[in-house]
Copies of this chain bind each other. A is one copy, B any other.
Amino acid sequence: MKIDLSELARLTGGDLEGSGDAAIEGAAGLSDATPRDVSFLGNPKYASQVKASRACCVFLPRSARTAAARNQEGPANRIYVDDPQWAFAQVLALLEKEMKKTGPAVVDTKSSVHYEAKLGSQVGVGPYSVIERKAEIGAGTQIGAQCYIGADARVGAGCLIYPQVVIRENCVVGDRAIVHSGTVIGSDGFGFSTDKATGLHRKIPQIGNVVVEDDVEIGSNVSIDRGTVGSTRIGTGTKIDNLVQIAHNVTIGKNCFVVSQTGIAGSTRVGNHVILAGQAGVIGHLTIGDGAIITAQSGIMSDVEPKAILFGSPARPHREAMKLQALMGKLPEIYEAIREIKSKLGLGRGPRSREQREHEDAKQ
């Protein structure tokens, strides 16, 4: 497959500087690209890599289209676009279509589809998948091999469910969802009532479900628990990375990012356009405001204002947390300064004088 550069410019709505007849056959990052690839500058801080790139052509932001740029080293062919990353993504989509030519969707004869399940048109079901009683699969959805779709579950239209996904009974997945392998939607929430007399933990039945709205992508090995009663809900357009834990009755809004290994405890409500970076943790029954950003490894123990940026465990506003981190690095200085001052003032040698310490310890 060859795509010539005038076609690329047309496809991405960009302005080509260079040879429209040249063609690319692949796509790669700036430093890996060969003279047969197109590449892109996604972040201005990598601009120096453009000069060194061997790419046939590079997508650049329109703002970079200056006289100075024209004389720079680097790929002779440039396409100026509004969003170089998105232009690049569109090329990848073309290449992917070429790579993944698939035959017509079929329900594999080595699958187990209950006769009361309802499959829309053009539904594919891979080998050894199980679709239970009264489950519904929307038109054009592809269920990979070895998946399990529980009774009364509903999966929308145009979804891509990769091999070895479990969607438990009564759960609902919207249209155009993508769910990666190893993910479990609808396992029981972690709910127990501890008997005070015996210390035994008695199971609280978890009879709710999970509702995944439209256009959601869920990574591999994710666990999303069903509500105790009612639903655990993932809002439209939200993207969830691998190995994430979402507890019972959590609500996540629209267009959020939940990055890998993050955990959200029960009944917490996450707003829209929230970013939870990798390995973040949020305790239960909280509210995270719209547009908040929780940075990596942070631990959230109280409600978060809209658009707040938090860092640390327990988390503080990002600027404050960074300042405190810097001051923590000065603790040796601080400690030394106090010794010096106390010595100067005749108050003993350490932050507490020996007399004070002995006196206070004796009282304890």
Contacts and interface: CB of A to CB of B under 8 A. Distances in A.
Nearest to A45: B285
A239 B188 CA distance: 12
A130 B163 contact: yes
Interface stretch (A15-23, A70-78, A258-266): A258-266
Contacts of A104: none
A240 to B, nearest CB: 9
A338 B352 CA distance: 10
Contact of A219 (B190, B283, B325): B190
Contacts of A303: none
Given A225-B242, A265-B278, A313 B337 contact: no
A358 interface: no
A26 B351 CA distance: 58
A142 interface: no
Nearest to A231: B32
The DSSP consensus for interface residues of chain A is loop
A252 interface: no
Given A130-B127, A205-B89, A328-B328, A223 B182 contact: yes
A281 interface: yes
A217 interface: yes
A28 interface: yes
Interface string A32-47: 1000000000000000
7 contacts: A32-B229, A130-B163, A144-B148, A164-B166, A219-B223, A333-B350, A337-B342
Interface of A: 26-29, 32, 83, 85-86, 88-89, 92-93, 95-96, 99-100, 108, 110, 112, 126-128, 130, 144-146, 148, 162-164, 166, 168-169, 178, 180-184, 187-188, 190-193, 195-196, 199-207, 217, 219-223, 225, 228-230, 237, 239, 241-243, 245, 247, 249, 255, 257, 259-261, 263, 265, 273, 278-279, 281, 283, 296-297, 299, 301, 312-314, 316, 320, 323-325, 327-338, 340-342, 344-345, 347, 350-352
A-B pairs, 7 with minimum CB distance: A223-B242, A187-B220, A337-B351, A327-B331, A92-B205, A184-B220, A89-B204
